[in-house]
């Protein structure tokens, strides 16, 4: 199945914001456009960006970030919106932020860290994933979910949403990898000096990771997401099995989500 690049609003202060609609499913249906979006940090949107987004009718935002990220880069959304957020336990929060080892890590060590992080995402992203699906069920408006870079936490959640809708893994991986074309994280961090993109320090900080390590951490490598999905299918049999068992969604709720997010 040919991957079609998603709709991506041209935002001067946006980070990796794009529509999840337009992808075909195995049954020939299409994910509805304009009803569910993914993004990175929303703290740097300009007045013109807000004008552009006014047409999107986004009225529910699920924030996947840690409390320290939310405090340092708060979302300034100009329209009425219902917000959902979650909090990790202290141990997971510290691990997800990154550790001092990154200062002296090699690219191979960074890659192992990323793979291990993705392999555990099904556990610590179950609660925010449930919030995303609850927003879809509760709101007759567009839903946006985001983290800081819009790559890792957001990428896994997008994969589960698309997988539940019947989009092929090939397309899901291509949609994930599109981040490398959608945003230049180094350029974004240079234009927005406070941006940390989910890391413990800014990209240009002296105590930050080496450039070759940073490339590993910021790349949307399909192998990362492939590892996460392999754990999901290995443990739960399928994405739907994961959503039913780990998230607690009933069959009728799953049917309602598909009705909301798929074209007839």
Q: 76-83, long-range: CB within 8 Å, 24+ apart, which pairs?
A: 76/42, 76/43, 76/45, 77/42, 78/50, 78/54, 79/50, 79/53, 79/54, 82/135, 82/138, 82/139
Q: 87-91, long-range: CB within 8 Å, 24+ apart, which pairs?
A: 88/124
How sure is the predictor about 189, in pLDDT bands with cuts at 50, 70 and 90?
confident
Q: Give residue 86's pLDDT.
A: 66
In the chain, what are the domain boundaries?
A: 18-261
Rounded to an integer, the average pLDDT of 139-166 is 94
How sure is the predictor about 157, in pLDDT bands with cuts at 50, 70 and 90?
very high
Using CA atoms, how far apart are residues 197 and 167, in angstroms rounded to an integer?
28
- Please say if the pLDDT value at position 250 is more than 90: yes
Residue 160 sits at φ, ψ, to 5 deg, of: -70, -40
How sure is the predictor about 155, in pLDDT bands with cuts at 50, 70 and 90?
very high
Question: If you average pLDDT over every residue of the chain, what do you get?
Answer: 88
Q: Kindly report the pTM of this predicted structure.
A: 0.92
- Please say if the pLDDT value at position 144 is more than 90: yes
Instruction: Give the sheet arrangement for strand 142-146, strand by strand.
Output: 18-19, 36-39, 142-146, 58-63, 82-85
- Residue range 38-93, pLDDT digits in tens: 999 999 999 999 999 988 889 899 999 888 888 889 988 888 888 877 666 555 55
In the CATH scheme, what is the code of domain 18-261?
A: 3.90.190.10
Across 126-135, 190-199, 235-244, 253-262, least confident range = 190-199
- Residue range 119-129, pLDDT digits in tens: 999 999 999 99
Across 36-50, 117-131, 198-212, 230-244, least confident range = 198-212
- Please say if the pLDDT value at position 94 is more than 60: no
Using CA atoms, how far apart are residues 189 and 203, in angstroms rounded to an integer?
7
Using CA atoms, how far apart are residues 259 and 264, in angstroms rounded to an integer?
8
> CB neighbours (10 Å) of residue 4?
13
Query: Up-side HSE of residue 85: CA atoms within 13 Å toward CB?
Result: 12
Q: Give residue 221's pLDDT.
A: 97
Using CA atoms, how far apart are residues 28 and 135, in angstroms rounded to an integer?
25
- Please say if the pLDDT value at position 233 is more than 60: yes
How sure is the predictor about 95, in pLDDT bands with cuts at 50, 70 and 90?
low
């Amino acid at each position: 199945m040919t991957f079609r690049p998603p709709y991506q609003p041209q935002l001067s202060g946006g980070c990796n914001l794009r529509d999840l609609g337009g992808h075909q499913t195995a049954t020939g249906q299409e994910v509805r456009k304009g009803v569910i979006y993914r993004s990175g940090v929303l703290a740097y949107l300009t007045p013109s960006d807000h004008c552009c987004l006014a047409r999107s009718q986004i009225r529910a935002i699920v924030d996947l970030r840690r409390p320290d990220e939310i405090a340092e880069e708060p979302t300034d959304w100009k329209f009425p919106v219902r917000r959902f957020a979650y909090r990790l336990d202290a141990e997971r929060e510290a691990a997800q932020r990154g550790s001092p080892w990154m200062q002296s890590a090699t690219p191979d060590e960074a890659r192992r860290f990323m793979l291990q992080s993705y392999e555990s995402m099904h556990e610590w992203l179950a609660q925010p994933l449930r919030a995303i699906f609850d927003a879809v069920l509760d709101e007759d408006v567009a839903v946006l979910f985001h983290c800081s870079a819009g790559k890792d936490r957001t990428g896994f959640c997008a994969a589960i949403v698309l997988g539940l809708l019947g989009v092929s893994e090939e397309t899901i991986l291509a949609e994930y990898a599109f981040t490398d074309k959608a945003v230049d994280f180094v350029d974004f961090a240079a234009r927005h000096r406070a941006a940390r993109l989910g890391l413990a320090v800014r990209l240009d900080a002296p105590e930050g990771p080496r450039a070759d390590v940073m490339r590993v951490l910021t790349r949307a490598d399909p192998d990362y997401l492939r590892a996460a999905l392999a754990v999901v299918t290995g443990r739960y049999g399928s994405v739907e099995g994961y959503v039913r068992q780990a998230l607690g969604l009933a069959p009728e709720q799953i049917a309602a989500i598909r009705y909301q997010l798929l074209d007839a």
